[in-house]
Chain A
Amino acid sequence: MKLSQDVLLGLFFVVFGVVSVSVAMSYPFGTSGRMGPGYFPVIISSLLVLTGLLVLFRSQFAQPEILPAIRWKPLLLIPGAVVIFGLAVETLGLPLAVLLLTILTAATSIKFHIEWKTAAGSLAFAALCSVVFIELLGLPIPIVGSWLRVPGF
């Protein structure tokens, strides 16, 4: 089986559907007149498995298209940077979290290079975000995170 869009998508549907059916089977199914919490999930997940199989079946007849090469750097780094933002926002505070996210995401661009102007720009942006979201909009996000706070202050 050659890898193609349909093969990957079909596999995704089948795998997700099978997991979902097996989880949903553990909930009470009930009857049509009194649907249990498992009734709808089992039906929908089974349909998803079936759809996935049909997509796989279809892929055997279609002209296989060549999957274009994947640029792994942004694909890994950007979600990674978002996760780091999540880790940092409460522990380091918003300005530092924004700074980290800005620099890490910008680093994935092919045009990225380090110079003082962009560094100053990202610092200013982090400060601006903190002013707008915390001071002006009053969102309850810490400016200084829990790790950086000096005990007693």
Chain B
Amino acid sequence: MDIFNGLLLGFSTATTLSNFAYCFAGVLLGTAVGVLPGLGPIATISMLLPFTFGLPVDTALIMLAGIFYGSQYGGSTTAILMNLPGEASSVVTTLDGHQMAKQGKAGRALAAAAIGSFFAGTVGTLFIVIAAPLLASLALTFGPAEYFSLIMLGLITSMVLTSGSLLTAFGMALFGIILGMIGTDINSGAARFTFGSPYLLDGLDFVVVATGIFGLGDVLMNLENERLRVVGVAPVSSLFPTAEDWRRMSAPILRGTGIGVLLGVLPGAGVLLASFSAYALEKKISKHPEEFGKGAIEGVAAPEAANNAAAQTCFIPMLTLGLPGTATMALMIGALVVQGVQPGPEILSQQPALFWGLVVSMWIGNLMLLFLNLPLVGMWAKLISVPYHFLFPTICVFMAIGVYSINNSVFDVYMMALFGVLGYFFKRMGAEPAPLILAMILGPMAEEYLRRTLLISHGDASVFFTSPLSLGTLVVAALLLLSIVSPRFRKVREEGLQEVD
């Protein structure tokens, strides 16, 4: 199917009344939950997951994507108005966005973020349309060795881009791989790490672990310094960027989009890397770098554009290779599996309506965000200022119901409580849980591809270095690891990531 027919199919899928309505509902709910302080996209998606159960697969996927964008955008709103980043990639937005808000330019900062995001979203979607079918046909030629190397690259990128020490991140990834191995081994049928419990035979549900660590763990962490939580929401002024704003932000949006589109495809933490690089680039080439950090509109527009472009293109490896690039994408795979869809190169040929419908609805979702969020920003600001002591019991209830309803299993609810405590422990110990989450999905895949590779080569590991693609991927991974040893990169990484915690 060529691109034109694909898009036609996509438009006819995405614009059916129910799909359109659920896309709208997803964007609206995603934003409403995403603006709540302390709730990142992962907690938002897992809380809203039950709303997609019982829907047809394509509708569910479209709504999920809507929730994902909505939560991303909601996170930027909170970052600008309240100086509270919902996730790592909106940290950069707080730097200049909140400064602008303090100077009474909150509306213009929000508009810059929205316009930048919309433009980047459109370009990102076009990029998916062109690149995904190419990558999918390329992926069909990948052998297990190539897949294994790509997974290694993804794991290493996520470790390098995590705040804190590399050794800690490595430990977290290994811990995640072990969690992922719990359950029946697909190859031998052996029950591993189940301790005789029938509930663990199917493995730990990924969504349950993510909800526990990110959702409940964050609640516990926030209650720790409940007294210290400052609730100050900047007032929203005029939403219209001035002519000066337009002039200053158009080139940064273009550059940010370019960076985001390319980096988003990278396995690992592409979205995070994109927003940091876009900010650093603007600061470097700006004629007045001293304004950065004090409310430069370029410092809002560029990283927001990069962030959103990468958020689009990180669907490419997820949909075409079945490899999640970020913890959020890993959760999306978990949600797809709940729906009975296994992402991979075949998805394009076997379920074209699903793929193209999703792509088109991404663009429609972005359009909705632009028209929904700017007029509704007053309502979001009100939602942000709901005091936390009303908020967190509600969050706990939604998470508990969400986790229960995945498998109608009480055991999952207990597991969420356990992982909530673990998530709190990791945060208190300065260990970022993102590599754990990614490794939990990627670990079992790595095992399977390693097994297949070595089976074909009769135990000879040199195949990883004789296939050019696998070799290239491993070289990139090795360079990334080496770069962290270099003091110069180390300094940049520490500066860039220090505020993430």
Chain A residues near B (Cβ < 8 Å): 5-6, 8-9, 12-13, 16-17, 20, 23-24, 27-28, 31-37, 39-41, 44-45, 47-48, 51-52, 54-55, 58, 67-68, 70-71, 74-75, 78-83, 85-87, 89-90, 94, 98, 101-103, 105-106, 108-112, 122, 125, 129, 133, 137-141
Contacts and interface: CB of A to CB of B under 8 A. Distances in A.
Interface string B415-433: 0111011001110111100
B266 to A, nearest CB: 24
A101 B397 contact: yes
B167 interface: yes
A87 B405 contact: no
Interface string B173-197: 0110110010001011010110000
Interface in B371-398: 387-389, 392-394, 396-397
A90 B13 CA distance: 38
Nearest to B187: A37
A82 B400 contact: yes
A79 B417 CA distance: 5
B410 interface: yes
B413 A9 contact: no
Given A58-B167, A83-B417, A109-B223, 17 more contacts: A9-B426, A17-B174, A23-B193, A32-B454, A51-B167, A51-B174, A70-B428, A71-B223, A71-B224, A79-B216, A86-B414, A102-B396, A105-B393, A109-B226, A129-B397, A141-B401, A141-B404
29 contacts: A5-B428, A6-B429, A8-B429, A12-B425, A12-B429, A16-B175, A24-B192, A24-B193, A27-B192, A34-B455, A35-B447, A35-B450, A37-B185, A41-B178, A41-B192, A45-B178, A55-B167, A70-B428, A80-B417, A82-B216, A82-B400, A86-B414, A86-B417, A87-B410, A89-B410, A103-B393, A109-B392, A138-B54, A139-B405
Interface of B, secondary structure class, is helix
B143 interface: no
B408 to A, nearest CB: 6
Contacts of B178: 16, 20, 41, 44-45, 48
A90 to B, nearest CB: 6
B224 A74 contact: yes
Nearest to A47: B174
Interface string B63-97: 00000000000000000000000000000000000
B205 to A, nearest CB: 14
Given A79-B420, A85-B400, A31 B459 contact: yes
